[in-house]
Structure 1
Amino acid sequence: MMPSTRQRGLTLLELLVAFAIMALALGMLYRAMGGSARSAGDVERYQRAVLLAESVAALRDAVPEQGWRQSGESGGYRWEVSSAPYRTGLSGPDIPLLHEVEVVVTWFDGERDRSFELATLRPQRKPPEAAFTR
């Protein structure tokens, strides 16, 4: 009678299955990490666009009677300002006329154009007062 010998270790098929499972898991992990890094970059570009829009809106604390139209480019971002009269239904000597100011910032993120819009209200600049004469 022959003594039974027990095989120890992994067969080639078991080894191939283990490598296939490991490759799938690493591929999914790589995708998840790449997506997180891409998202972090998107957030940074979006934050810069918000900061630029706020800075452009802060250029003027009042809007001329004819409105505000301006555009420019800064650091890879394009921006455009436009304004229109904003009707409140109120009038009087102490109630300023308002303009709705919209700042649109656009940029290209490598895949498509992105944009951020900021809208705010600004008072209309008072016309210069006539010199007092007697």
Structure 2
Amino acid sequence: MIARQKGFSLLELLVAFTVMAIGLTVVLQAISGGLRNTAIASDYTQALQIAERRLTLAEAEQPVPEGERSGRAGERFRWTERVTPVDWNGDYSDEQAQFRLWRIDVRVSWGDGSERDVRLTSLRVERNT
């Protein structure tokens, strides 16, 4: 009788390690992609909070500050705020109209190589004096 060897051959071990390496690579890429997406979502959330805060401050100012302003929020985020009058009075002149309408645009941008941004727009009505 011929004695059979017990255990795995070298070829079987190589195939098993190759399959395991491919599977582990796929799992690590999925985890890495999830972490990257979480960081991007966190940046968008922070930028949205900054934009909402800037919009709230611009809406609360009396009188409405026409023009453009910009600044930084922390080290990574930059904001730009633009306030412009909206022509909606129709046949009335600005002096005859009882109200003025203002458009407030806020843009918050950031980026590490690729520029990303969040933009919010609001309208504000102000009594014409």
TM over 0.5: yes
Q: What SS is found at the alignment partner of 2:4?
A: coil
Number of the residue aligned with 2:26: 28
Higher strand proportion:
2
Equivalent residue runs for 1:25-104 within 5 Å: 25-60=23-58, 61=60, 64=63, 67-75=66-74, 76-89=76-89, 94=98, 96-104=99-107
Number of the residue aligned with 2:119: 117
Q: How many residue pairs get matched?
A: 123
TM-score computed with the length of structure 2 as normaliser: 0.83
**Does the aligned pair in 1 maintain the 2:87–2:101 contact within 8 Å?**
yes
Identity of matched residues, %:
31
TM-score computed with the length of structure 1 as normaliser: 0.80
Number of the residue aligned with 1:130: none
Q: What SS is found at the alignment partner of 1:120?
A: strand
Larger Rg: 1
Higher helix proportion:
2
Q: Which runs of 4+ in 1 moved over 3 A?
A: 62-66, 87-94, 124-127
Deviation of 1:125 after TM superposition, in Å, equals 6.0
Distance 1:112 1:103 in 2: 20
Distance 1:29 1:65 in 2: 54
**Does the aligned pair in 1 maintain the 2:100–2:128 contact within 8 Å?**
no
Distance 1:67 1:125 in 2: 15
Unaligned runs of 5+ in 1: 128-134
The root-mean-square deviation of aligned C-alpha atoms, in Å, is 2.2
Unaligned runs of 5+ in 2: none
